[in-house]
Chain A
Amino acid sequence: MSHITSPVRTPLVTGGKTYADVTEDVSRQVEGRPTREWTIAFTISVIVLIYGAACVFWTWWEGLGVWGLNKTVGWAWDITNFVWWVGIGHAGTLISAILLLFRQKWRTAVNRAAEAMTIFAVICAASFILMHMGRPWLALWALPLPNTFGSLWVNFKSPLVWDVFAISTYFTVSLVFWYIGLVPDLATIRDRAKSKVSRYIYGAFSLGWNGSAKTWARYEYISLILAGLSTPLVLSVHTIVSFDFATSVIPGWHTTIFPPYFVAGAIFSGFAMVQNLMLIIRVVFKLEDYITFEHIESMNKVITLTGSIVGVAYLTEFFIAWYSGVEFESYAFINRATGPYWWAYWAMMTCNVISPQLFWSRAIRRSVVWTFVLSVVVNIGMWFERFVIIVTSLHRDYLPSSWAMFHPTLFDISDYIFSFGLFFTLFLLFSKFLPVVNMAEVKTVIKSSSETLPKSVSGVAKGERVTKPAFNKDAE
């Protein structure tokens, strides 16, 4: 890490930042009073959350009859929203774990916020699991607990039980990974704190961290192992979510392509959400020197790749439906594209397959406006993907006499709005009270990836290097 910036490497930190600048730029918004924008955004989120919570409460009070479900379409927005949120929750771990293993240093500036987004997205996803149970107080029946029915255990052969294990493990491990990464930065805030209260609170959460060489060595070691554990974990989670569909015998669901196709789609939508959040954060918190166009472009490349994988998967599904010679399978897909839900299918195709291809243009990849708009479009498309898979496969089932359409009610919509209120409330609390950029990790890339290296990186003896860089063997 002590090499001078290679001319072939694009800089990750611009503006000639020193270590002290990193601390200052990131800690500033934690220590200062909430800005007007933050207060307004937070107020709106809380109002939305309260409205949504009231509607969720009513859903539970009255029963799931308030949703637009019918005998034919027994899963609709609830599972669509669940899969959508879980998918979004994949980008954070991909950035923090897989990109760590691949030594992609640009992840250092975005991993903290992306991991936070992951955790909050999984919370939103879990809320739909509780909602669609109808009787959330019986949610513990999904766990293998001794009971008075025998004990009659959960069915470990069911993908729904695998899902319970996968999502709860994923949430726990992501939370732990995120928190361990936060500890050194919380210690930074603790040591800068002016007020007794914040010194106490950040002190308690920083666990008495003092940055000794021994602690750092262990920290690096466990980060690597956590990354190694999280990599198959993140792939397993959406694989198992796809099993919820793939192991059933519904035409349109019963396909072996689902696991890779779901994982690619999850990363695709997750990165789009990261883009939306980071583009706002970098401007509001003035972090343009840390979250640069380089970062935006890198993420857009991931979006293009995963979007193309998703596109190939859509076409493969169609081809296999025809090639299998199973008329029910073929009908399911023809019905998707040309049946009464054709608009959902083509919305999905346009948003997920066609529009991300615009990112082949470098100018669009590096444009804030294009990136923001296309990322929103991707997330709309990914919502429609899940809607298409779930509702369109169900609505024309085995007997034409029971064919039906799904019509969302006020409560379908409001319960979805609830999850936005929850997500943004949590994310805004995070962005105010915790450092949104991993300061310690960004400091490790300052020397190797700064655009212009200041004379002294630690920011004291400005104007002169502290010593001649005789230690730098590579440079000589």
Chain B
Amino acid sequence: MAESHGSASKFLVGIFDDDDVVLKAVKEVKDAGVRIHEVYSPFPIHGLDVALGHPRTRIGIAAFMFGLTGTLTALALTMYTEKLDWPMVVGGKDSYSFPVYIPIIFELTVLFCALGMVGTFIVSNGLGPTVKPLMFDLRTTDNKFAMAIDLGKNKLDEEKIGQILKASGAAEVNVKQF
């Protein structure tokens, strides 16, 4: 995750056994006035990011800009090489003949868009080969769902939050310190 944990933070981690339970619990815990840090799951749960109040990702805008860069690169490349630098007439076509460059324009658009978008994804999530994963519970990549609550950012005390988690279906509640 991109968030830094320079100072030691204490987390309360509710472990859930079921994706539907954790989705319902997010709403209940939030209604009880608890600020949820994040939920960790072994697979995507639809509606979870909305329930948590995460803003809609803007990665699509980045993807579009990268795609546009690819289109312009292809146009510039074909224009420069075939028209300006060394004009060539091949197959009786004009030295700059737009339709024959469509494959190149398409391929470079897709290439730039895909690589740029995936690069943005990796950077925006703070992922990388040397990144140490911030795991609240090792089982969340297997079959458990973890709801992490930053105690430093909540007014309610540990015991009360623990009760709320239990009441909303958490199978266990652990304390995790970073």
Contact = CB atoms under 8 A, between A and B. Distances in A.
Contacts, number: 232
A198 interface: no
A444 B43 contact: yes
Interface in B122-138: 122, 124-136, 138
Contacts of B93: 157
A460 B59 contact: no
A236 B131 contact: no
B44 to A, nearest CB: 4
A155 B90 contact: yes
Interface string B102-125: 011011101101110110011011
A214 B38 contact: yes
A219 interface: yes
Contacts of A229: 110, 113-114
B149 interface: no
Given A151-B85, A222-B117, A2 B19 contact: yes
B18 A236 contact: no
A187 B133 contact: yes
Interface stretch (A99-107, A121-129, A205-213, A308-316): A205-213
B98 to A, nearest CB: 11
A393 interface: no
Contacts of B161: none
Interface residues of A, number: 81
B6 interface: no
A166 interface: yes
Interface stretch (A80-88, A172-180, A339-347, A420-428): A172-180
Interface residues of B, number: 74
A357 interface: no
B40 A466 contact: no
Contact of A162 (B20, B77, B103): B103
Contacts of A472: 20
Contacts of B18: 456-458, 466-467
Interface of A: 1-2, 18-20, 23, 144, 150-159, 161-162, 165-166, 168-169, 172-173, 176-177, 180, 183-184, 187-188, 190-192, 203-222, 225-226, 229, 232-233, 236, 240, 243, 439-441, 443-444, 447, 456-461, 466-467, 469-472
The 8 A-B pairs of least Cβ separation, nearest first, read A208-B131, A19-B143, A217-B49, A153-B81, A207-B127, A162-B103, A216-B44, A20-B143
